[in-house]
Amino acid sequence: MNILWLGDYPHPLRVNPNRHPVPWMTMLANGLASSNGLGLTIMSYSSAIDQDELFTADGINYIYLKVPDDKWDLLTAYTQRINRLRSYLASLKGTFDLVHIHGSEQQYQVIGAGLPIPKVLSVQGIVTEYYKILPAKPDYRHISWLVAGYYERKYLRSVRHFICRTHWDQSHTLRMQPNAVIHHNWEPIRAEFFEPVSVSAKTAQTLLFVGGTNRIKGIREALRAYDSLCRTLPLRFCVAGSGDKADVIQLIHSLELSNIRAEDIEHKGFLNGKKLREAYQEAFCLIHPSYIDNSPNSVCEAQVAGLPVVASDVGGVSSLIDHGQTGLLTTLEPDSIADAVLTLWKNSELHRAIASNARAVARNRHDRQQIIDKTVSIYQEIIRHAN
């Protein structure tokens, strides 16, 4: 069984510390490459390479094709990248049994549309929905996501099989492709997080937020909630991800949050799995007041490790969190977020129960071997029905 992946896959020989490592993809790819009787080729495009690159590493065949910079290609509605990969794929006719497309945000479903072999698409975010929550002030994303949304709406109809995870992605997939066949499968979580953390109000030092300075991830709501919490809770506000401490301090001033001191803020930058788990050890809980999400990796990782999560009830998050049992769901109102954190602070039994319950559920949900086996089973089922 020869499988072709189309997706934004990190270059295994060119580590970029400023991009997300997408561990759910890399772990699945490495697991599939170890499966007997399965050959895996991954094709991706990049403007950061000097020329096309074809190589094999750890049993996986990689094809990286050189394309124009995103902003230049946007002037052509991304037709250059689409045509470049389509042309190359035409030369591989008859090589693969199935193509697995990862996400609908970056035109990979357009690139694979003409392939005369079975296709399955793993839904990541739904760009037409994400577009709705962009800030009102126009920026580059308004045009880029508008174009991406056009391709998403038009070309998802060319795919019959989808891998979904939550009620949210399944609902929107069926809205755009009413004839879709939905296969359910979760995503693997890095091994570091399966080592449990032990946290409590007595030992906690921070309130953890891992969305960087990304407005869509809720940095403003998180800071507003912390502005009221820091009056009574002896916790620093710890940020991981994009930006730096100066950016956070500037945002605090612009929001006129008078209770937060500079020494209350810690910014750790982008963290690998080991460093993020170390940050968990100091945290009382993770707060995730995102405007939109499907199955946020940060929530899943915290649950697997046993760090309680307070998250906004948006997108597919309620498929991950059973309110009061495996986490607490809130609105995007800062008072709602702060009240949930205070509830955990005042009720140590609830804090412990949520940590324990979430860990048990998430460890099973994100079991790597189960997910690999289910993926192979999905491939086999789709190919069998196609024949």
The alpha-carbon radius of gyration of the chain (Å, integer) is 21
Question: Which among 343, 346, 315 has a CA at the least distance from the CA of 327?
Answer: 343
pLDDT band of residue 135 (cuts 50, 70, 90) is: confident
Task: Give Cβ neighbours of residue 251 (< 8 Å, ≥ 6 apart).
Answer: 213, 219, 220, 223
pLDDT band of residue 17 (cuts 50, 70, 90) is: low
What CATH class is the domain 191-365?
Answer: alpha beta
Average pLDDT score, the chain: 95
- pLDDT higher than threshold 80 for residue 387: no
- pLDDT higher than threshold 80 for residue 19: no
Q: What are phi and psi of 331, to 5 degrees?
A: -85, -175
> What pLDDT, on the 0 to 100 scale, is given for residue 82?
97
**Per-residue tokens: 308:** 């309680």
What SS3 class is residue 328? strand
DSSP codes of every residue in 146-207? HHHHHHHHHHGGG--EEEE-SHHHHHHHHHH-TTPEEEE------GGGGS-----TTT--EE
* Sheet strands side by side (includes 2-6): 53-57, 60-66, 39-46, 2-6, 98-102, 119-122, 161-164, 181-184
Q: For residues 82 and 305, what is the distance between their CA atoms, to the nearest angstrom?
A: 40
Q: For residues 251 and 217, what is the distance between their CA atoms, to the nearest angstrom?
A: 14
> What pLDDT, on the 0 to 100 scale, is given for residue 14?
81
Sign of CA dihedral 270, 332, 124, 207: positive
Tens of pLDDT along 205-237? 999 999 999 999 999 999 999 999 998 999 999
> What pLDDT, on the 0 to 100 scale, is given for residue 18?
65
- pLDDT higher than threshold 70 for residue 194: yes
- pLDDT higher than threshold 80 for residue 16: no
- pLDDT higher than threshold 90 for residue 36: no
User: Which CATH architecture best describes the domain 2-188+367-386?
Assistant: 3-Layer(aba) Sandwich (3.40)
Task: Give Cβ neighbours of residue 187 (< 8 Å, ≥ 6 apart).
Answer: 24, 28, 165, 295, 297, 300, 366, 371
Indicate the domain borders of the chain.
2-188+367-386, 191-365
- pLDDT higher than threshold 70 for residue 271: yes
Better pLDDT: 170 or 17: 170
Tens of pLDDT along 46-93? 999 999 999 999 999 999 999 999 999 999 999 999 999 999 999 998
Q: Which residues pair with 251 in a beta bridge?
A: none
> What pLDDT, on the 0 to 100 scale, is given for residue 360?
98
Task: Give Cβ neighbours of residue 349 (< 8 Å, ≥ 6 apart).
Answer: none
Domain pair 2-188+367-386 / 191-365, same fold: yes
Tens of pLDDT along 40-51? 999 999 999 999
> What pLDDT, on the 0 to 100 scale, is given for residue 70?
93
Q: For residues 261 and 239, what is the distance between their CA atoms, to the nearest angstrom?
A: 15
Q: For residues 352 and 310, what is the distance between their CA atoms, to the nearest angstrom?
A: 14
